[in-house]
A and B are shown apart, each in its own frame.
Chain A
Amino acid sequence: MEHGKHVFRIVILVAVILAVVLLARGFLVPKTYGLYGRYRGANVAQQMDARPVLHGGAAACGECHSDQATKRAAGSHRTVSCEICHAPLGAHILADGAVVKPPIDRSFTLCARCHRKVAARPAKFPQVDLDQHVNGPVEGKVCLECHDPHSPKP
């Protein structure tokens, strides 16, 4: 009926707005969205190369440092990865091949992190009460005076 003209117009206006929004949305959805599931499929490949591999594993160190590697493999630190005390491989051999001397903490703090006596550690694990174990003050590189970190005595 002729008195409904204003209803007509507002319905058309709404339809136009909806069409524009849906059209715009269609162009904005990323191309790989929905490829494998409700996510941007291209991200999976991106995650595979998201960062450089930093830790090489203990075996990789042995390629250049075979002496230390052999000594370590024969001693009680054979399961302790080089990268725990020294830096990860990627901080030593940089991406462009340059070799950088990694920092090493030779103080008792490093050793104490594993070997200070803490009740929660498994009883069979070698741990000591530092004050009782050391003759004299516990400071500086006191652990290295008796122990070789690559093959500490059991």
Chain B
Amino acid sequence: MPEITGFSFPNDIHVTWSLMIVMYPYITGFVAGSFIVTSLYHLFDRQEFKPVARLAMATSFAFLLVASLPLQLHLGQPQRGPFVIITPNFTSAMAGFGILYSFYMLVLVLELWFVWRQEIIERARRSRGMKRALYAALALGTYDTSAEAIEIDHKAIKILAGIGLPAACMLHGYVGFIFGAIKANPWWSTPLMPVIFLLSAAVSGIALLILLYQVYAKLDRRPVVATCVQALASWLWFFLILTITLEELELIVMAYEKSESWLIISELLTTRLSFSYVTMQMIVGGLIPLILLAVVVLMNRYLHEKVRNTLATVAAFLTLIQVFSMRWNIVIGGQLLSKSLRGLRSPYEPEIFGREGVLMAIALFVAPFVILWVFDRVLGIEEPPGADGHGNPPAAPPPVEATAASHVP
């Protein structure tokens, strides 16, 4: 039985939305954030992001595949999950999930197909038997790699990126709306919620890619391009400033207006959420990365490459913690306070095992990286050198696997 201080409505002592509901916006945040990074290259032609563009798109896809799992695991009747598509009630933001998820999945898969089409055809030509059948099916039986076809591909990619960006933003923004539109809960009810969620998603996506880029470059034996890291760090800093400003602003306005909910919310923040909000979200995940990234951005000229990489990586890791804390503080924090505005319950302790437990959350976070690994095996994330359609100079020495097969005399 949870301990209650003050008075909570008798039904309010149960935390209905568990760790899985913290994981869901965390994961869709990566989906949206990664797509923002890849769109910076594919839609806005910012060349400094080219080294991570494909990795970002594959990451968005990998997390998208996992995104519906936390919801399914949380449902009281998971086998009825498809009801959201069969009989959706569109006054509910949650009903939007079916449409938004499917639509964005469609756009992303199409864009992936156009970007990776040449590799698919290349691998179809190179392989035999079952593998050849697989790649041939993926290529939809067309093997056109002429300049005109590639031109069409690029146009399609641009259009899809243009549609995909608002779709990705909607896919994560509606989650913010789910919380922001609940007038019953004063910790959630604010028009700023969808905006904060979306900016926070951008932060998490860029931070993840900073980390992934370092890891992937090492595994693939490619050099880490300094301008790319610099660009990622700059955008991360920019979005982090915006996110933290809005999060703090919301609190400042609430404290100033001192409406009836402020008393219990301030008690919530100073007692139940003091560690996760003040320490983790604001200081460890907020202030410190802000300083580290300020160094990377403002002192760029004086930094050695290794220092830049390290600072950016540490800052990125800390912001990943910040974004998780933010999700936790909103989802769990909002349920610790009772609608009576007179009571707080003891902090929620998620179970370790069980379908909504800590191990499941870890598994959900690890799964997309496994998917990325499979993706790299099947399609290869980065294009092999020389296959670039933009006339750019070939990249560093190719990975070992591709060498033996692609050297056709």
Residues of A within 8 A of B (CB): 1, 3-7, 9-10, 13-14, 25, 28-30, 33, 38, 40
Residues in chain B near residue A9, CB distance under 8 A: 140-142
Residues in chain A near residue B85, CB distance under 8 A: 25
Closest residue to A9 on the B side, CB-wise?
A: B140
Query: Which of A3, A28, A30 is B146 in contact with, Cβ under 8 Å?
Result: A3
A71 to B146, CA, bound (A): 101
Residues in chain B near residue A40, CB distance under 8 A: 87
- Whether a CB of chain A sits under 8 angstroms from the CB of B274 is no
Q: Give the residue among B89, B139, B140 with the most A Cβ atoms within 10 A.
A: B140
- Whether a CB of chain A sits under 8 angstroms from the CB of B156 is yes
- Whether a CB of chain A sits under 8 angstroms from the CB of B144 is yes
Given A13-B140, A14-B106, A14-B110, also A6-B89 (CB < 8 A)? no
Residues in chain A near residue B142, CB distance under 8 A: 5-6, 9
Closest residue to A26 on the B side, CB-wise?
A: B86
Residues in chain B near residue A14, CB distance under 8 A: 106, 110
Contact A30 B141 (CB under 8 A): no
A3 to B154, CA, bound (A): 13
A10 to B141, CA, bound (A): 11
The number of inter-chain residue pairs (CB within 8 angstroms) is 39
Shortest B386–chain A CB gap in Å is 22
Contact B110 A29 (CB under 8 A): no
B109-155 residues at the A interface, CB under 8 angstroms = 110, 113, 117, 139-142, 144, 146, 148-149, 152
Shortest A8–chain B CB gap in Å is 9
Residues in chain A near residue B148, CB distance under 8 A: 1, 3
Contact A38 B89 (CB under 8 A): yes
Residues in chain A near residue B144, CB distance under 8 A: 3, 5-6
Closest residue to B155 on the A side, CB-wise?
A: A7
Q: Give the residue among A4, A6, A33, A40 with the most B Cβ atoms within 10 A.
A: A6
Residues in chain B near residue A13, CB distance under 8 A: 140
Contact A10 B140 (CB under 8 A): yes
Contact A3 B87 (CB under 8 A): no
Contact A28 B156 (CB under 8 A): no
Mask for B42-77, Cβ within 8 A of A = 1, else 0? 000000000000000000000000000000000000
A124 to B158, CA, bound (A): 79
Contact B152 A7 (CB under 8 A): yes
Pairs A–B under 8 Å by Cβ, sample size 24: A3-B144, A3-B146, A3-B149, A3-B152, A4-B149, A5-B142, A5-B144, A6-B117, A6-B139, A6-B140, A6-B142, A6-B149, A7-B152, A9-B140, A10-B110, A10-B113, A13-B140, A14-B106, A14-B110, A25-B85, A25-B86, A28-B86, A33-B87, A38-B91
A1 to B148, CA, bound (A): 10
A4 to B110, CA, bound (A): 15
Shortest A124–chain B CB gap in Å is 27
A25 to B86, CA, bound (A): 6
Given A6-B142, A7-B156, A9-B142, also A29-B87 (CB < 8 A)? yes
Contacts A3-B144, A4-B152, A5-B142 supplied; 8 other A-B pairs, CB < 8 Å: A6-B142, A7-B156, A9-B140, A10-B113, A14-B106, A14-B110, A28-B86, A40-B87
Residues in chain A near residue B110, CB distance under 8 A: 10, 14
Mask for B80-111, Cβ within 8 A of A = 1, else 0? 00100111010100000000000000100010
Residues in chain A near residue B86, CB distance under 8 A: 25, 28-29
A127 to B141, CA, bound (A): 88
Residues in chain B near residue A6, CB distance under 8 A: 117, 139-140, 142, 144, 149
Residues in chain A near residue B113, CB distance under 8 A: 10
Shortest A69–chain B CB gap in Å is 35
Closest residue to B86 on the A side, CB-wise?
A: A28
A3 to B106, CA, bound (A): 23
A14 to B86, CA, bound (A): 19
Q: Give the residue among A3, A13, A25 with the most B Cβ atoms within 10 A.
A: A3
A28 to B142, CA, bound (A): 36
Residues in chain A near residue B149, CB distance under 8 A: 3-4, 6
Residues in chain A near residue B146, CB distance under 8 A: 3
A1 to B144, CA, bound (A): 12
Shortest A19–chain B CB gap in Å is 14
A137 to B139, CA, bound (A): 90
Shortest A37–chain B CB gap in Å is 10
Shortest B157–chain A CB gap in Å is 12
Shortest B210–chain A CB gap in Å is 33
A38 to B89, CA, bound (A): 7
A117 to B148, CA, bound (A): 91
Residues in chain A near residue B91, CB distance under 8 A: 38
Closest residue to B146 on the A side, CB-wise?
A: A3
Q: Give the residue among A5, A14, A40 with the most B Cβ atoms within 10 A.
A: A5
Residues in chain B near residue A30, CB distance under 8 A: 87
A25 to B146, CA, bound (A): 40
Residues in chain A near residue B152, CB distance under 8 A: 3-4, 7
A33 to B86, CA, bound (A): 10
Closest residue to A14 on the B side, CB-wise?
A: B106
Closest residue to B121 on the A side, CB-wise?
A: A6
Residues in chain A near residue B106, CB distance under 8 A: 14
